[in-house]
Amino acid sequence: MIDDRDEGGPGTGGDTDGGGATVAAWLDGVTAGVPLGPKAALVRQVLATQPTYCSYATAAEVAVRAEVNRATVVRFAQSLGYPGWPGLQEELRAVYLTRRFDPGAPSADDGGLLASSFARDAQNLRTLERSFDFGAARGVVRAVREARRTLVVASGTHGVPAQALAMVAASRGLPVTYEDRGGPHLANSLAGLGAGDCLVAWSFWQHYRSTTAALRVARTAGAVTCVITDTRHSPPAREARHVLVVPTEGVANIQSMTVATSVAYGLLAELTATDPAASRQAARRVSGVWRELDLFADDATGTGGRGGGD
């Protein structure tokens, strides 16, 4: 186990080419067969989910992100066969740079951090196209489509894509509900789950205990569990039958939900395509109710809102 002790062990990282691999896939390879303790696993997770930052950060800075001490980062690198953090970082940077578009240092003239943010999200989407597990995604779609009911859970900003999935799915006639309040509200929603039901969780670094616990409760009750996360090694992923991994790295130390939201709408497209006639009929019903409740502002022509329930 790699922890805060002084011992390190031989690894395979220094001999791994890694050319053309995503950082997450490369890390899967170099850590294969190397037992990781809880603190080393945190270091690994930071490298997988924040490769831009880690490509240039010091060992101490990575340690802060992982909430461990600097020595743990150094020993993690040594356990993979590197002399220390600089050797591991050099290969991490090489793997990462083969997969990213580097727009150069932003300036006031080219959009500054706004431009960097757009470029980062665009690169994340390109990474998703290459690495996304479409088979697993079809498993999620099938689980939601066949479920008696589906509960979608998330907390904080992770709720951005989660709410989109749940709200649009419900407006298309699917028995999908969303819970982000935690505490007794989440407990009551989970208590009703059983065989034939489905739980879809959204959880990214850093992971909320309540989301991981919800997956565990649902799995124990016999429900099909699905998670959209940023690494296959996350705590929620260990509790799920279907795991979708998406990149969430942003700029200025802000996690981006752009790709996760794109995945939400992709799943919705697949869900509605399985029965388009029923989806259109449900959407018309919801649109009528929204109009009856007078929820829409009049548009510029004075003809009223379009409706749709989205």
Q: Looking at residue 98, what is its pLDDT?
A: 64
Q: What are the φ/ψ torsions at residue 37 (nearest 5 degrees)?
A: -75, 175
Where is pLDDT greater, at 143 or 290? Answer: 143
Q: Looking at residue 22, what is its pLDDT?
A: 74
Confidence of residue 7 (pLDDT cuts 50, 70, 90): very low
CB-based contact 147:226 (threshold 8 Å): no
Percent of the chain's residues with pLDDT above 90 = 56
Residues 211 and 158: their CA atoms lie apart, in Å, by: 10
CB-based contact 307:287 (threshold 8 Å): yes
| pTM of the shown model | 0.70
Q: Where are the alpha helices (DSSP H) in 172-257?
A: 183-191, 209-221
- What type of residue is 131? S
